[in-house]
Structure 1
């Protein structure tokens, strides 16, 4: 198979849903309930295209163009399985309030700003993710460094979080109206 890759990156640590289903599991034989359900809903191609959950003309308007319940897919039908509300998505264990280096795989680096959000206390992972489920961003970083093929974003995680949460990332390019989106399930 030949062609030009259209994707540009996704969270690898804490891993995003697409990164996990593609690299930590196998799209042809997934092991977690979340990946199995996502592939059943949308097929394996979305996981092979794990790095292109994007909107070409977002231009900083993500909140107005991505509907509630479709944040993880960026409203794209191809990635609809990523929006499934479930409690069995594989998750990264984190410590609330800790300093970490968030890593986003840079398959095709671009200039831009990364904004990270966490779900609010009391968020229900069994319900569709809505914009109102997200706290204000806890980090906004422009032009982070790239090391070992990944953007390195040093952040302090939100304090007071316990249990299952989701970290939502918007990567808005500054050299184009294109934006990328990532959902990472975490447990504090």
Structure 2
């Protein structure tokens, strides 16, 4: 399977991504790496792009991307609070089912809070800014190729992929892909919860707009989990049509 060339150099070590060490040291809070599982890598989700820059470890002064900097500064009063916005890149999730009442995504992730999965700690990732890193996605025969990075893989699981324009982060504005093909590529074959990646071959929804900024919205639901834990992410993109 051939994937589009996206302008990001991904050289991350998954074993180092379980927790925010700085947060644990400063708050005394016990970390829970088992609740953190994945996000969009290509194109990078907002939090994953900011994380990948590794320029926030000494506060906001070194952050080069203006949107990452603004989101960081609005994420808390202390640097350890702010850093978890990016360090916990794979923890943007909600449980859609409980022992009493199953929930719809919009019951827990309200309009305007889609990028943060409705979590207060991650709220500033929702800010409107033209400075968010934007990835060009090439279209071939109406389809785009994506990569989803997982610190734990889960099967069976379900991916849903949506598009919306940059300033309309509302459920009713999302256009859903009618077809998402998934290829599972684990880093190791020892156990189903190994780290790895999912390669997504996605048919674009009708009515998508090319050559303007859009938001690619991905939901990844763990179907083997009774709680239906589901991960949410926003990636800022420009859809580029090609003739070939």
TM-score interval (norm. to shorter): 0.7 to 0.9
1:64-110 C-alpha deviation (Å, 9 max, x unpaired):
32111000011101111111111110011123455432111110111
Deviates more, 1:98-107 or 1:53-62: 53-62
CA distance in 2, matches of 1:25, 1:165: 25
Q: Which has the higher contact order (CA 8 A, sep 6+)?
A: 1
For the 8 Å contact 1:85–1:129, the answer to whether it is kept is no
For the 8 Å contact 2:185–2:198, the answer to whether it is kept is yes
Partner of 1:37: 70
1:29-62 C-alpha deviation (Å, 9 max, x unpaired):
3221111111011111110011100013455611
For the 8 Å contact 1:113–1:140, the answer to whether it is kept is no
Displacement of 1:169: 0.4
- The 3-state SS of whatever aligns with 2:128 is coil
For the 8 Å contact 2:180–2:201, the answer to whether it is kept is no
Question: What residue ranges of structure 2 are gaps of 5+ in the alignment?
Answer: 1-20, 25-30, 76-81, 188-195, 240-244
Question: What residue ranges of structure 1 are gaps of 5+ in the alignment?
Answer: none
For the 8 Å contact 1:85–1:128, the answer to whether it is kept is no
Q: Tell me whether 1:137 sits opposite 2:177 in the alignment.
A: yes
Partner of 1:180: 231
For the 8 Å contact 1:96–1:162, the answer to whether it is kept is no
CA distance in 2, matches of 1:25, 1:91: 18
Aligned length in residues: 182
Q: Tell me whether 1:150 sits opposite 2:183 in the alignment.
A: no
Partner of 1:18: 47
CA distance in 2, matches of 1:62, 1:17: 20
Displacement of 1:117: 0.1
Q: Tell me whether 1:104 sits opposite 2:104 in the alignment.
A: no
Partner of 2:116: 73
Q: Give the RMSD, CA atoms, in angstroms.
A: 2.2
- The 3-state SS of whatever aligns with 2:50 is helix
For the 8 Å contact 1:118–1:138, the answer to whether it is kept is no
Partner of 2:17: none
Q: If you compute each CA radius of gyration, which structure gives the higher value, 1 or 2? A: 2
TM-score (norm 2): 0.67
CA distance in 2, matches of 1:185, 1:60: 27
Partner of 2:4: none
Partner of 1:83: 126
